[in-house]
Amino acid sequence: MLGRLNHVALAVPDLGAASEHYREMLGASVSEAQALPEHGVRVVFVELGNTKIELLEPLGEASPIAAFLAKNPKGGMHHVCYEVADIRAARDRLVESGARILGDGEPKIGAHGRPVLFIHPGDLFGTLTELEEV
């Protein structure tokens, strides 16, 4: 069911500063910022040879990232994202296995323009997990 690791997401208090830090300190290629109102975040992607790092900042006080940063003011790892070939089949298999899908259980369009779902961290060893259809 699982494909490759698509990205590791880090919540950051200041997306501009974090992007600049990755560019200047690590010499990384960083995408332009993109607002995702349906998910309550602004994101950039740090391109790596074999995967990406997603930097997230809250888009408003109702953002789940705002709540995360309230507990972790310096930021930190928020989630991992794996690729799947068929997100609905993956969801159905997970639900049959007892996993909890966050939200209404239906895929939403993510930052790459593809359907995504999130699995409750309590079902995967304390790690919020995103699945992205490729």
- C-alpha 10/C-alpha 7 separation (Å) is 10
**Is 80:127 a contact under the CB 8 Å cutoff?**
yes
**Is 119:69 a contact under the CB 8 Å cutoff?**
no
- pLDDT tens digits for range 65-120: 999 999 999 999 999 999 999 999 999 999 999 999 999 999 999 999 999 999 99
pLDDT of residue 84: 98
**Could you confirm whether domain 2-133 is CATH 3.10.180.10?**
yes
Domain locations in the chain?
2-133
Verify whether residue 54 is a known catalytic residue: no
**Is 71:101 a contact under the CB 8 Å cutoff?**
no
Classify 95 as helix, strand or coil. helix
pLDDT of residue 132: 98
Per-residue pLDDT band for 127 (boundaries 50, 70, 90) equals very high
Long-range contacts of 88-93 (CB under 8 A, 24+ apart): 89/1, 90/1, 90/117, 90/131, 91/117, 91/131, 93/1
- pLDDT tens digits for range 14-70: 999 999 999 999 999 999 999 999 999 999 999 999 999 999 999 999 999 999 999
pLDDT of residue 50: 94
At 64, list the tokens.
Answer: 């789940």
State the catalytic residue, choosing from 57, 130, 132, 133: 130
Question: What does the radius of gyration of the chain's CA atoms come to, in whole angstroms?
Answer: 15
Cα distances from 42 to residues 64, 100, 102, in angstroms, run: 12, 25, 20
pLDDT of residue 54: 98
**Beta carbons within 10 angstroms of residue 23's beta carbon:** 13
